[in-house]
Structure 1
């Protein structure tokens, strides 16, 4: 049986030459034309890349590089810059909401929460056989979601301040009523009942607002891993997508309902991942054991070793993790530039 196909959505930020959010996403997409699958996002300073379905890491890398470059060129035509950064570096908390009926309704219902959500994530879609398989995969991946967050954290500086967190985006995103890690999902009926409760209560507009860090897609035969900041580089996005793919393959091979982990242990693991990224300690959500993030990343590689071998991606993942630990991920590199008084915004700029 062939490995599952994958696709990636990257949200990217439009800024002016001085680094403030640039509310020109509609004009940028018009300049780009219809050659690429790029969409408007919640605020007018955001755009979203949607890659084609991919079978290999190389294929995914090529699409990401081409799409980022084309978007950066379109942003330049509008006098702006395209940033691979997860929160606005300068400006005000509230952003202009995109003039699209759905987003305008969100602004009306959720107020400041919607207006302050100019944050950029990365979502990895991995093919699964059906909804029941997707829910089982969600359960299997829950303990590993904080590790993926730590590895790709890319939002330490928000509105000219070092927040003290490697992923401030995740902290901000956690304010939505149906966000963070999903609960342990007993069955399709359990999932449907939870969604129905949210809809009846009015906490969600529709099922698309199930913003858990992993969820069954509402419109594709995939499971969607949504925990990550948008990574600084396409290499980091490919690393994330490969690990997500390998975790899904491992879960499908294992079957069953997945491990039950204590919600408070998982909460602690998330909080540490969001604060420290790859630079400090961690909690293994499966065992409640304290250890370094480097050790936990080694455990992750062992967990998915057979899948990585099948994907011919052992070296890709090992080298990518070693590079993140040695040179730093986006959060480390941004914070270093910020503290040294360097142009940390330029560090995140995508080149045409």
Structure 2
């Protein structure tokens, strides 16, 4: 995100970062072509892509958007540009949480910070080919940001399940809907964050991590929801890169509403539920394994509940905010897609069963991965039902 704003007339502003994997156009194996894709995007579209830790990945960033619909429009254009730039560079850009085929080791991107990460984190760094989606929502100040994270964190399992998009690794089904979550959990500062009493408490814990060397700088505090290290935002990082633009826009709308509601709760003095971090870890692990069609611990009730049911409860809670901010149509479309096609992991498995590797790559390709809505799609999980 290039600039920030605390709010727009219809609610807080939102921005989305997406990471994409570069693969061989025929075999689907990850290739180290990030520099060429960055150059092609700049030459063809004047688009400045971000490099990632390994040269098998590139990252896009929307502007600061007034709502989820604007974010969706920008994401669609960005994905098309990256897809075409990748073709120009002799590879394919795919939207997937983890490499589905071939080796899972990449070349470290040249640069002082990345070289230092490689030295300190060793094989973890070279195997960091996973791709996520990060949603930023503007908040008034840092103290509010910490409390907003406390309010949002009980919903992390649901947010992870709706975007689960990485069932395969080395050509085999892992049995997980989000294998990326399992790979990511190997890093020392990852997964659900602790419950923080204040901004100072957050700062003290981060200082301990830096002293321990398990994070080299504030940007390496990789929790699934955190106050951004760079912007006046809360950043939700739990999601795989989404299977489609509609899925990504749906995530952005839900996160935006969650943060907006949390800001209002903080102002009213509503206290967040202090869910133990270990409880959240269990729920997130189960959600990553089973995806949207499965069950996970509802950390508020302590019961194992279908994630579909948990999402219905969340959207019913958020419906007034979604309506007030104009994001309800985006959410309704996202729900129809989930009910009709499942999450990204479900779609990938169907593609492989239907026609193997080429069908999988076609589904994931940034130019070809969008799904049409079928008329009369089931809407049983729509907000308020």
TM-score (norm 1): 0.97
Structure 2: runs of 5 or more not aligned:
1-8, 369-385
**1:87 touches 1:155 (CA, 8 Å); kept in 2?**
yes
The CA distance in 1 between the partners of 2:99 and 2:277, in whole Å, is 31
- Kindly indicate whether residue 133 of structure 2 is the aligned counterpart of residue 122 of structure 1: yes
Which residue is 1:19 aligned to?
Answer: 28
Task: Please state if 1:322 is matched with 2:304.
Answer: no
Is the deviation greater in 316-325 or in 232-241?
316-325
For the residue of structure 2 that corresponds to 1:278, the secondary structure is: helix
1:230 corresponds to: 241
Matches of 2:137 and 2:354 in 1, distance apart?
40
Q: Does residue 345 of the first structure (1) align with residue 354 of the second (2)? A: no
1:285 Cα offset (Å): 1.2
Question: In 1, distance between residues paired with 2:162 and 2:247?
Answer: 9
Question: Within 5 A, what are the aligned runs for 1:70-219?
Answer: 70-219=81-230
Flag structure 1 segments of 5+ consecutive residues without an equivalent: none
Question: Does the 8 Å CA contact 1:265/1:288 hold for their aligned counterparts?
Answer: no
Aligned length in residues? 352
What displacement does 1:57 show? 2.3
Q: Secondary structure at the match of 1:175?
A: coil
Task: Tell me the equivalent position of 1:7.
Answer: 15
Say which SS state the counterpart of residue 152 (structure 2) adopts. helix
Given that residues 152 and 230 in structure 1 are in contact (C-alpha distance below 8 angstroms), is that contact kept between their aligned partners in structure 2?
Answer: yes
Deviates more, 1:69-78 or 1:238-247: 69-78
Distance in 2 of aligned mates of 1:26 and 1:300 = 41
Q: How far apart are residue 262 of structure 1 and its match?
A: 3.1
Distance between the aligned counterparts of 1:325 and 1:274, measured in 2? 18
